[in-house]
């Protein structure tokens, strides 16, 4: 059993920054990959970024150059540093983890609103 808890969402002005955190606990096996997804208002869930336990990263084109994903393996925590935020980034951001004996685990989501 794995639990994921996101935090760090809130209201920010266009051009501002936020950092999201997602802490995993329970039976964590390595190697694994942690992911950030988002669901835009009225839209479907879409991939944002991922990072493996070895440090390999991947980003959606819409956030590349603005967002940075990182992780602390000792704390089983993944972060998403979001810079130059746009109104189009407004969404509920959720994390998950996939790997050996791990699938279908999601956090509760955290709301990010970008508005002036």
**Each residue's pLDDT tens digit, 57-100:** 999 999 999 999 999 999 999 999 999 999 999 999 999 999 99
Q: Is 88 helix (H, G, I), strand (E, B) or coil?
A: helix
- How many distinct helices (H) and strands (E) make up the chain? 0, 11
- Residue environment code for 44-81, b if the CB has 16+ CB neighbours within 10 A, otherwise e: eeeebbbbbbeeeeebeeebeeebbbebeeeebbbbbe
**Residue pLDDT, tens place only, 12-61:** 999 999 999 999 999 999 999 999 999 999 999 999 999 999 999 999 99
Q: Does residue 103 register a pLDDT over 90?
A: no
CB within 8 Å of 101: residues ≥ 6 apart: 27, 29
């Amino acid at each position: 059993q794995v639990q994921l808890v996101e935090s760090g969402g809130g209201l920010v002005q266009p051009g501002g920054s936020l950092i999201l955190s997602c802490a995993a606990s329970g039976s964590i096996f390595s190697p694994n990959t942690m992911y950030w997804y988002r669901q835009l208002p009225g839209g479907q869930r879409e991939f944002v970024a991922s990072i493996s336990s070895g440090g390999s990263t991947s980003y959606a084109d819409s956030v590349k150059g603005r967002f940075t994903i990182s992780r602390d393996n000792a704390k089983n925590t993944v972060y998403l540093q979001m810079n130059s935020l746009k109104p189009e980034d407004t969404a509920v951001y959720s994390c998950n983890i996939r790997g050996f004996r791990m699938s279908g685990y999601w956090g509760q989501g955290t709301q990010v609103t970008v508005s002036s």
